[in-house]
Amino acid sequence: MSSVQIRDVRKSFGNFEVLHGVSIPIEDGQFVVLVGPSGCGKSTLLRMLAGLENITSGTISIGDRVVNNVQPKERDIAMVFQNYALYPHMTVAENMGFSLKLRNAGSDEINKRVKRAAEILALSPLLDRYPRQLSGGQRQRVAMGRAIVRDPQVFLFDEPLSNLDAKLRVAMRTEIKELHQRLKTTTVYVTHDQIEAMTMADKIVVMHDGIVEQMGTPLELYDKPENQFVAGFIGSPAMNFLKGHVRVNGVATFEGPNGVKLPLKSAPAGSDGRPAVYGVRPEHFTIADDGAEAEIVVVEPTGSETQVFAKVGGEQVVAVFRERHQFNPGDKVRLKPDPSVVHLFDEATGKRM
Amino acid sequence: MAVIAEPVAAQVKRSSLWSRAFESRNFLGAMFMVPAIAILILFLAYPLALGFWLGMTDTKIGGVGRFIGFQNFVSLSKDSVFWLSVFNTLFYTVFASIVKFAIGLYLALLLNERLPFKSMMRAIVLLPFVVPTVLSAIAFWWIYDSQFSIISWVLIKAGLLTNYIDFLGDPWNARWSVVIANIWRGVPFVAITLLAGLQTISPSLYEAANLDGATNMQRFRHITLPMLSPIIAVVMTFSVLMTFTDFQLIYTITRGGPINATHLMATLSFQRAITGGNLGEGAAISNAMIPFLVAAILLSFFGLQRSRWQQGGRD
């Protein structure tokens, strides 16, 4: 186990810079999730950490050692690939023991460690099978087994669940988290799925267009997004954004599209009249007489909750209710955002106000 | 009602005989296979059978032969030139195939790396395969010429030799010369096919092996070679078959000389059957190649049997 320091790392492919100076401190034993839309540079960063891509500038250190020029095999890391990258001509046991065999470990030692890893991952009955004879979830577990057999300093996961079906994905999510709690190995996990990030991470790093937008615990990011991108990326259904202006005359309010009045707890100093974006999460709407007038467009019950798409001031918003309201499309209701948890963003910069 | 209905029913039955036949899967299946079977019989089975038959006769060009059983084979077994051609063929096949494989694999590995001008280099590698055999054979003939050989000329100018090398006049020189010509011609096939095989290996396997701590040599030994083995088996089968049955190169460069030192079974068969007019004996020599070819095919068939890891299915 080791800490990992990523300091001002840049990466260019030819003249095209894909990472514009990324710094991420990772503590020993932490589970860090890099999340962002495709093309944000998160996989590239992970591959640089693994040593599969060169570092254009900046430094990456594992423990106390700067690893910029250290060969992948000497970095003492293990990686789980998106397509698992299992060796098709080796059995499960051979796949898991391959790295030990390359290090000239004795066959007793290999057997012992493979067996232990197989027990942790419930792979014991499958040790003699070939990857082809396994299901997606089993292959996923073998890929993880291959990583834990080595007992490395750092685990790297590159979108490991994206090839699984939805149900299995949820199950494996729990399994990976449980494994981390058990082994406490520093883990860097890349995904584009914010739910995976939220559920698994000790620390989430939201990346976008080659920069870090925000880092923090899942709930920090959820409750206090630093900018509009993070606010929109974290949370499902996504946060509603309404453009308008801050008005301070006695009480602070927000004048939304078509003059809709929306409540604010307080307005930042000197923000009167400034163009801004009003952000409210779907679950922070209530039905109240002093709410903004809304016309219901679509109602989507999921059982545990109901998603309601409605037009507020001509803009579509989504609200989620735990209660079972009897709504029909075309109904007029009054939606009131909870002013204590709404977010205000500068319209020009997208920064939190 | 019934009286009227009966002839109608009969008519329906009669008219539907053809349409019923064309709706029958078995009949249609057989119909669709007829063209393929006709082609196979005409161009494969008939020539093969004729070859077998001729080998059992004493047919000469222009004459009708008699069936003489295995007499051709008996006389061949006492024919030292025939045995020399068997030796030559085996020598030619073994050495050319091994070297073609080694160079082909090396080129494939090289071309699979990130190289500048990669596509151009791939095209260049294919060149020997594109040039008509006879044309390249004539080029080699000049290269090996006893008076105009560029190899001898260069070596003499460089001061390494004093006399011209007699490439095609000395039996062993000639054997090695045609082997080299065959290698030159056969390498592209091996290289390009193995390259295609290499490109099916997922790069993430190498990355995983890299992280697992494998050196370049270990990656080759534990990933490339096992993953490539099915393709290697196919390529080497074809390579061996094509080399064993080679005719054009030898016939153009040496015509089997000097003193039959480069006669392959194929060229000897042609010489005895067409040039010499003994169709029966020539056919017998060709037939004598069959056991060797079958052995090669069987060997690769068992080699090709898909290993357990390639087989699909669960359990």
DSSP string, A81-138: -TT----TTS-HHHHHHHHHHHTT--HHHHHHHHHHHHHHTT-GGGTTS-GGGS-HHH
Q: Is residue A233 part of a domain?
A: no
Q: Which of A167, A188, A221 is the last residue of a domain?
A: A221
| pLDDT on residue A188 | 93
Chain B environment of A90 (Cβ under 8 Å): 309
Would you say residue B87 lies in a domain? yes
Q: Which of residues 294 through 323 in chain A touch B, CB cutoff 8 A?
A: none
CA dist A198 → A13, A30, A219, A299 (Å): 31, 14, 8, 26
State whether A59 and A189 are in the same domain.
yes
Say whether pLDDT at B149 is over 70: yes
Q: Which of A317, A347, A336 is nearest to A245 (CA)?
A: A347
Residue A230 maps to a domain: no
Residues A139, A18 share a domain: yes
Is residue A235 in some structural domain? no
Buried b (16+ CB within 10 A) or exposed e, B69-78: eebbbeebee
Q: What is the pLDDT of residues B49-90, one digit of tens each?
A: 998 888 888 888 888 888 888 888 888 888 888 899 999 999
**A54 at B interface, C-beta within 8 A:** no
What is the pLDDT, as a whole number, of residue A247? 87
Structural domain contains residue B21? no
Question: At B310, is the pLDDT very low, low, confident or very high (cuts 50, 70, 90)?
Answer: low
Where does a domain end: A221, A255, A276?
Answer: A221
Q: State whether residue B218 is helix, strand or coil.
A: helix
Same domain, A196 and A253: no
**Mean of the per-residue pLDDT values of chain A:** 90
pLDDT at A213 over 90: yes
Q: How far is A197 from chain B (nearest CA, A)?
A: 24
Instruction: Quote the pLDDT of residue B313.
Output: 44
What residues of chain A lie within 8 A of the CB of B310, using their CB? 88, 132
Q: Which of A169, A192, A221 is the last residue of a domain?
A: A221
The average confidence (pLDDT) of chain B is 84
pLDDT band for position B1 (cuts 50, 70, 90): very low
Instruction: Report the complex ipTM.
Output: 0.81
Task: For chain A, report the end-to-end CA distance as a whole number of angstroms.
Answer: 39
What residues in A contact B205, CB-CB < 8 Å?
Answer: 85, 87
Q: What are the distances in angstroms from CA B86 to CA A44, B114, B183, B266?
A: 60, 44, 19, 10
A325/B contact by beta carbon, under 8 A: no
Q: Which two tokens stand for residue A335?
A: 């939606």
pLDDT of residue B119: 82
Q: Is residue A11 part of a domain?
A: yes
Alpha-carbon gap, residue A317 to A242, rounded angstroms = 9
Residue pair B62/B288 in contact by the 8 Å Cβ criterion: no
CB contacts, 8 Å: A14 with chain B = none
Strands A261-263 and A251-255, by their bridges, are antiparallel
Structurally, how many domains does chain A consist of?
2
Residue at B57 is within a domain: no
Per DSSP, A304 falls in state S
pLDDT score of B314 more than 50: no
B25 touching A, CB under 8 A?
A: no
Residue B213 belongs to what domain range?
71-306
A204 with A81, same domain: the answer is yes
CATH number, domain of B106, equals 1.10.3720.10
Cβ count near B29 (within 10 Å)? 9
Residue B55 domain-assigned? Answer: no
Would you say residue B315 has pLDDT above 50?
A: no
The verdict on residue A323 lying in a domain is yes
- Domain of residue A321, CATH code: 2.40.50.140
Q: What is the pLDDT of residue B15?
A: 59
Instruction: Answer yes or no: is A227 within a domain.
Output: no
Is B207 within 8 Å of A102 when comparing Cβ atoms?
no
Q: In this predicted structure, what is the pLDDT of residue A136?
A: 85
Task: State the residue range of the domain holding A290.
Answer: 240-346
Q: What is the pLDDT of residues A87-135, one digit of tens each?
A: 998 999 999 999 988 888 888 989 999 998 888 888 889 898 899 888 8
Q: Determine, for residues B314 and A134 on separate chains, whether the beta-carbon distance falls below 8 Å.
A: yes
Separation between Cα atoms, residue B14 and residue A287, nearest integer Å: 78
At which residue do the structure tokens 């615990």 appear? A217
Q: Which of A73, A131, A146 is facing B210, going by the closest CB pair?
A: A73
Q: How large is the average pLDDT for residues A222-238?
A: 92
- Reply yes or no: is the peptide bond before residue B203 cis, omega within 30 of 0: no
Residue B168, in any domain of the structure: yes
Domain shared by A136 and A250, yes or no? no
B307 touches chain A (CB under 8 A): yes
Distance CA B282, CA B276 (A): 9
Nearest Cα residue to A235 out of A177, A318, A303: A318
Q: Quick one: pLDDT at residue A283?
A: 93
The answer to whether residue B61 sits within a structural domain is no
pLDDT, tens digit, 9 for 90 and up, residues B157-202: 888 877 877 777 788 888 898 899 899 988 999 999 999 999 989 8
User: Mean pLDDT lowest for which of A110-114, A188-192, B154-158, B222-226?
Assistant: B154-158
Mean pLDDT of A227-244: 91
* Cα(A320)–Cα(A39) distance, integer angstroms: 30
A133 vs B315: CB contact, 8 Å cut-off? yes
Asked if A73 is an interface residue toward chain B (Cβ–Cβ < 8 A), one would say yes
Residue B72, C-beta contacts closer than 8 angstroms, at least 6 positions apart = B55, B56, B58, B280, B281, B283, B284
pLDDT in tens, B230-261: 888 888 888 989 999 888 888 888 888 788 88
Q: B203 vs chain A: nearest CA distance in angstroms?
A: 9
A57 contacts chain B (CB < 8 A): no
Structural domain contains residue A318: yes
Q: What's chain A's Rg over C-alpha atoms?
A: 24
Q: Residue A56 maps to which CATH number?
A: 3.40.50.300
d(CA A208, CA A39): 8
Residues A256, A208 share a domain: no
Do A273 and A183 sit in the same domain of this protein? no
Q: Is B225 on the interface with A (CB under 8 A)?
A: no
Q: What number of CA atoms fall less than 13 Å from residue B243's CA on the CB side?
A: 33
CB neighbour class for A61 (10 Å; exposed up to 12, middle 13-18, buried from 19): middle
Judge: B212–A98 Cβ closer than 8 Å, yes or no. yes
Q: Measured between alpha carbons, how far is B102 from B232 in angstroms, rounded to an integer?
A: 11
Residues A213 and A247 in one domain: no
* pLDDT tens, position by position, A239-289: 999 999 888 887 888 888 888 888 888 888 778 888 899 999 999 999 988
User: Based on the structure, what is the number of domains in chain B?
Assistant: 1
Contacts with B314 from chain A: Cβ below 8 Å: 133-135
* DSSP for A142-176, written as a single string: HHHHHHHHT--SEEEEESTTTTS-HHHHHHHHHHH
